Structure 1
Amino acid sequence: MSQLFISYLNLITTQKIKWNDVFAVLLHPLMQPETGLFELQIYYRGAGKIYFDKTDEYLLQFPEIKEKIEKIIFSDSETDIFSTIFSFLKKFARSENRELTIVTEKLLSLVKNLQNYYSLLEIEPQKTTLKKDLLFILQKAEIHPKKHEFGIEIMGFLDTLDLQPEKLFLLGLNEGSFPISKPTNPFLNPLPNYSWFISMQLLLRWNALGNKVKYFAAERDVDGTSLQISTLLENFHKSEENLSDLEYQSLRNFLKKYYGKKILNFPYHKQIIRHNALLDESISEFSGKTEKIESNKLFFSSSSFDKLLQCPMKYWFAEILKIKQIDYDEDKENRRILGNILHKSLEKFGKAGGFRKLREDFSSACLLLEEKLRESFDEYKINPDENLLLKNLYKIYRNNLHKENSANLLVRLLKWNLEKFSDFKDAFFEQKFGMKNETADNWDFPEIGDDKIKLLFRGIIDKIFIFPENQIIATDYKTGKFDFKEIIEKTNSQFVIYLLALQKHFSNFKIKIAVEQIKSLRKAENGLSTFLEIREDTLFVPSGKTFIEIPLSELKEHFLNVAEKIIAGNFGVASKELRRKVCEYCEYKSICRKDSQF
């Protein structure tokens, strides 16, 4: 309840309401969230929309939820913020759950006390100060345990000093736990013999209670490690009473009994079926299996296919189960929005003739790009001056753009475009291909395959320049890291897919692809890369000062082999995918089976 109340305070006191604040309240279990709310959360997280907008078209599809949100956020009848808070808390004050009622009554009491304090001092409650004061009070508040008619009260050793119990069971009287550890404070000198003195006081108190007290000391830890009884209990006599016939054994030691042996009980249990299959060597250590896919056609974006190339299990989590992280990663979200804004700004700039204008007037081109950047900020409802973090994130793209300052990454991008691509005769920006629901300016699916399986790809190429003598150069903007080595290792399909799309649309053209990196001002993290190109169905991939030649047929064959696993329902973690780079930054490593030890 306390966490719900804090989330509610954040919601009603913020100047600009975020969807995260809304969902923190409405999706709390005490609010009994309905199914539509989860759909809303999935949509807004996927769409990258951060701020609440009651006129949003998608929200209007859920009128009941919209009304519920507005009742919580906007109070029509009660303008006093204290009345609004009281109204919210009173919903939980008469709950069947006694613990919830106790906590709610305590919160109501704290808010009432603060209201009286404000009234006495004639302070007009402001949202920011009210939130600060309430959070400060909550940190100091305590709810003392009340005596119940049933149950066992659990407490620490020190809490028993002045206790008058009917029965007292003392657990964990082992070395390391008792005598109790010495309190440590780096700013105070330790008390001499504190742990022994206080522990002897406790022991004398317990002895005085006589038969009301039972002493327990474990012989083994949960992992089977042998434990030592406390030194202070050396003169006690161990009870001969046999509490259990159970063998002292850890869970791991218990499971070791079945190592290398089949388990014939529970033949329909999934884990046991897998265990027996591993012993038969009918599956590999890291393989998994799901239902087969009936269709022999598979549709992929380059990003989803990259997940499949890197690790089929990662693809299963992300694209089939669509598992998303519960914790909101603000930095990751800000970087994603940054990429979207820069792509949108350069698309607008290109379609407005900005790259042609570079030839005539570089200053005018910089002013045009600055204008398109502002438009993109407005479109995404981002204020880059809202706080220092956002200001710092965007400064290398905003500061002195109109002054042609070379410390601005977009100015650098325009300069290398003027130097390398000024003689283009035609251009395409954010060119879509393979998009099912798009009709205008959408190219056909590039595809590879045979009678068994067909792979159809979709994507968006950031920029395509057409030059005289049937030459094409396509580029991709990168605000993150990229290494052509990923193509050589066959874990990146993006540029191969782009080449297939360009080949299908422009036959008999010489095609090259490059990366325009605008990550930071560091030398290795901005600039135009060496060109990746295709000649007579052979891919020439930059590697240092040379090129690695890879037959296009070899890459296609590899893509098909990996995709055949999907048709068969295999989503395993193969040993090939266990390379450090792929696993180290994987968002699913905490739930991946590759580290399991059964």
Structure 2
Amino acid sequence: MVPNPFNLLPLIYTLEVKENPIEVNITLQYPITKIPLNQFLKNLIRAQKEREEKFYPTQVYLKILKHPYFLALEFEGGISFQKIIKEIEDELRKIGYLKITLDEVEDLVPKYRDYLEKIHKIFFRNWENIKTPFELSENLKNILNFFEPLFEKLKDEDSWHSILLRNYIHVLETKIFPIFEEETYLKDKSFSGSFLLEILEYLLKEEKIPFIGDPLKGLQIMGFLETRLLSFKKVIILDVNEGFLPPAPSFNPFLTDEIKIYLGIPIFRNELWVYYFERLIKSAEEVHLFYIFVEKSKTQEFREPSRFIQKLKWELEKEEKKPNEKLIPLYFEILPEKEGIPKTKEIKQSLLDLIKTTEISRYFLETYLRCGMKFYFRYLLKLKEETKIGLRSFDIGNFIHEFFENIFKELEGKEVLMENVYKEDEVLEKLENLWLSYKFERKMDALSHFLSKKIAVETIRKYFNYLIDKERAGKIKSTKILGVERSLKLLTECNLFDPSYEEFKNFKVLFSGRTDFLIKRKEGITKYLILDFKSNPDIKPYSGKEKIDKMFSFSLPDKFDNLALYEVADIFGSDLSGFQPRFYYYLFYQQKEKFITENDKEFVVINAGFITPSDFKNPEKFVFNLSKRGEWAKIYDYFKNRFKNLLEWILNHIIISDKFYLPADDNVCKYCEYKAPCKNYRHLLE
């Protein structure tokens, strides 16, 4: 007996792999909700329910077209639909719209328009304006006809998928189609499309697939209702858990308890199930009850034995009998978590070649400091995250960068006052035009779009007013724009380990960065500022006296293991927010003669930091907040003579260390795009 019908297929597969397979007869009816074709039809209904006029939710649209039945199709000329959907998905992910029209999809891949028009008609357009039950039935039949060549192939296979498909189509033809075609209360009447879809969705949830077999042979797999009036020598009941036996009551929106009372229909709760259970076990010579007990788990919900078992124990105790109980433990081996992915000599050589031929950016170095395995997936295997549909994490940041570039790029090389630059109407008009070009209204829901735009406008206004107020107070005398989106590159010699010769050699390495805003600002003294725009108002460049002292006193580790890597990463802060401004500071300082016009005797301040316009109180945050010239001299000496050693150590760790190490803090993994392959390496693969 299988009270939970969803366990039917796992049970059958288990019986099939036994050394001595036994003959099985199934009378248990299987719910159609898990059948692939049923899930496909439910997604079609969902697409219509979530459609707004002609706009379909992109994710649901893709889910329909990426169904295995579609991917198995081939059109005339040997064109694979898998190829078509790949191109469609690439285009949809590129534009990132949350909702899309069918015409827009056809315009994205015009060479496949003929195929798409046919598919869109059968699976989408025909469903948009259904008014009669007969139309709905015809639409379902059109879908079956479309997939008929594929279904004919599947029906010939001797597999459970084929058996379930044949029986599912039989249910559609004998139980669902007649409701929409023959029932007098529906026939030839007009209804709203949403009402008809609600009925179809309910039927697709409630119907079950029957199996046909020989009840006199082999092992009988049954549900409780099939055991009525039968007696057995040996009964095995699975899933004797609360919630399955007795089952949790289902809610019927068409026939609620109140309606049943009004109509005089009896309401049965557990009485029938008590009767079925007691009658079954008392009519059998031998009974085996199985249940799962889960007391506490992060991955499973609490499971307890059925109340029927508790009652049975109590009744046996009254008769001074005791059930024969046996605990069946689950044996599984937990593989030890690995420290990281091992590096072979060939991999180490590839890493050296990569460093010699690649522009070493702050992302390159930060990725390695944050997680060696992520570095492996991104820079060695070249794996890329699937582009997200909707607003991506970097979209707002890119918008802010481009906006300020549009404002200040034409002012490069000029000395300005922000009061003269900021003409509010002109600036807000540029913001509006740029906002429209990013199509944010198609990438966010209406409320998020409204709030985001309001915040963007207020953020820009507040930041410019902050600068203007400082100018009016005499704290900023003038600003010279040295660069917007300015590239900073430094080709320098580094002493790196060569795995081929197993010794250190000098190699040319190109360090590269791109600073958002490079300015010369006259305050009490002249300052050269290397600034990067950040959309997160809470980000800080890991500044403060303690952090600076830690940077000066830090000695590079002798080893190249995981602990040494964590130690080096820690000097830039737990989130590595201090690395970028220091890295850009180094690139600027090593070629400062290109930018600084003052002579060596004239004191100037060089600083780096973040501009966070959405932080209205303090939008500019700097790495170094010093007041004495002697303190600045120590900073300049550090970036002139010592910071390169730190970069060399990181590059050598990439080459020398035995593994691509996991991060010290698992929170880094929370939103990582490589979570799936990483999990396999960490726990599963030998």
1:579 Cα offset (Å): 3.1
Whether contact under 8 Å (1:446, 1:504) holds in the other structure is no
**Partner of 1:171 in structure 2?**
237
Aligned residue in 1 for 2:278? 204
User: Which of the residues 277, 285, 288 maps onto 1:215?
Assistant: 288
Q: Which residue in the other structure is 2:668 paired with? A: 582
**Alpha-carbon separation, structure 1, partners of 2:68 and 2:411:** 53
Please, which of 584, 605, 613 is the counterpart of residue 498 of structure 1?
A: 584
1:273-288 aligned within 5 A: 285-286=339-340, 288=342
| From 393, 403, 406, the counterpart of 2:452 | 393
Q: In the alignment, what sits opposite 1:514?
A: 609
**Conserved? CA contact 2:489–2:511, under 8 Å:** no
Question: How far apart, in 2, do the equivalents of 1:568 and 1:358 lie?
Answer: 51
Give the Cα–Cα distance (whole angstroms) in 2 for the partners of residues 200 and 80 of structure 1: 45
Q: Note the residue ranges of structure 2 that are not aligned, 5 or more in a row.
A: 1-36, 72-80, 156-161, 252-256, 258-267, 297-303, 498-506, 543-569, 597-604
Q: What are the within-5 Å matches in structure 2 for residues 39-58 of structure 1?
A: 41=89, 45=93, 48=96
SS at the partner of 1:367?
A: helix
> Which of the residues 205, 208, 227 maps onto 1:144?
208
1:365-514 → structure 2 map (5 Å cutoff): 365-383=423-441, 387-398=446-457, 408-418=458-468, 419=470, 423-431=478-486, 433=487, 444=489, 449-452=494-497, 456-467=510-521, 471-480=527-536, 481-485=538-542, 488-489=572-573, 491-492=576-577, 493-503=579-589, 506-507=592-593, 509=596, 511-514=606-609
SS in 2 for 1:474: strand
Would you say 1:26 and 2:65 are equivalent positions? yes
After TM superposition, give the deviation of residue 309 of structure 1 in Å.
Answer: 0.8
Identity %: 16
Answer whether contact 2:55 2:101 (CA < 8 A) is retained. Answer: no
**Worse-matched range after superposition: 62-71 or 478-487:** 62-71
User: Which residue number corresponds to residue 4 of structure 1?
Assistant: 40
Deviation at 1:317, TM superposition (A): 4.0
Q: Please, what TM-score do these two structures have when normalized by structure 2?
A: 0.58
For the Cα contact (< 8 Å) 2:231–2:284, is it kept in 1? no
Is the contact made by 2:341 and 2:659 (CA closer than 8 Å) also made in structure 1? yes
Task: Give SS of 2:342's match.
Answer: coil
- Cα distance in 1 between the residues matched to 2:98 and 2:292: 54
1:303 matched residue in structure 2:
363
Change (3 A) 1:507 1:393: same
Give yes or no for contact 1:357–1:365 (8 Å, CA) kept in 2. no
Q: Is the 8 A contact 1:430 1:460 kept in 2?
A: yes
Is contact 1:182-1:195 (8 Å) kept? no
Deviates more, 1:285-294 or 1:372-381: 285-294
Conservation of the 8 A alpha-carbon contact between 1:516 and 1:528: yes
The one-letter code matched in structure 2 to 1:489 is G
8 A Cα contact 1:175 1:230, kept in partner: no
Q: Distance in 1 between matches of 2:322 and 2:87?
A: 63
Following TM superposition, by how much is the alpha carbon of 1:417 offset from its aligned partner in structure 2, in angstroms? 3.3
* 1:270-349 correspondence to structure 2 within 5 Å: 285-286=339-340, 288-289=342-343, 292=347, 293-294=349-350, 295=353, 296-297=355-356, 298-321=358-381, 333=391, 335-349=393-407
d(CA) in 2 for partners of 1:56 and 1:10? 20
Deviation at 1:312, TM superposition (A): 0.9
Secondary structure of 2:212 counterpart: coil
Task: Tell me the alpha carbon deviations over residues 442-475 of structure 1, each in whole angstroms, 9 at most, x when there is no partner.
Answer: x645667335466544443222223579853222
| Higher share of residues assigned helix | 2
**For 1:118 and 1:319, how far apart are their aligned partners in 2?**
61
Q: Which amino acid aligns with 2:193?
A: L
The more displaced of 21-30 and 103-112 is 103-112
Q: Who is 1:573 aligned against?
A: 661
Q: Secondary structure at the match of 1:425?
A: strand
Matched residues, number: 518
CA separation of 1:500 and 1:520: change in aligned 2, threshold 3 A: closer
What letter is aligned with 2:466?
W
SS at match of 1:372: helix
TM-score of the superposed pair, with normalisation by structure 1:
0.66
Instruction: Name the amino acid aligned to 1:20.
Output: Q
1:573 Cα deviation from its structure 2 partner: 3.1
RMSD after superposition? 5.6
Q: Distance in 1 between matches of 2:248 and 2:126?
A: 53
1:478–1:515 contact (8 Å) kept in structure 2? yes
Query: How far, CA to CA, are the matches of 1:120 and 1:306 in structure 2?
Result: 67
Partner SS, residue 389 of structure 1: helix
Report the residue type matching 2:402 in the other structure. Answer: K
The C-alpha deviation readout for 1:206-230, integer Å capped at 9, x for no partner, is 145445x64244799999xx99986
Q: What's the offset of the Cα at 1:411?
A: 0.8
Contact 2:92 2:389 in 1 (8 A): no
Higher relative contact order (CA 8 A, sep 6+): 2
Alignment partner of 2:209: what SS? coil
CA distance in 2, matches of 1:560, 1:109: 72
Counterpart amino acid of residue 237 in structure 2:
L
Whole-angstrom CA distance in 1 between matches of 2:632 and 2:675: 33
Q: Take 1:73 and 1:499, find their aligned partners in 2: how far apart are those partners?
A: 55
Aligned residues of 1:317 and 1:588 also touching (Cα < 8 A): yes
Partner of 2:331: 251
Please, which runs of 5 or more residues in structure 1 have no aligned partner?
124-128, 189-193, 257-270, 279-283, 399-407, 434-442, 542-546
* 1:427 positional shift: 3.8
CA contact (8 A) 1:22 1:69 kept: no
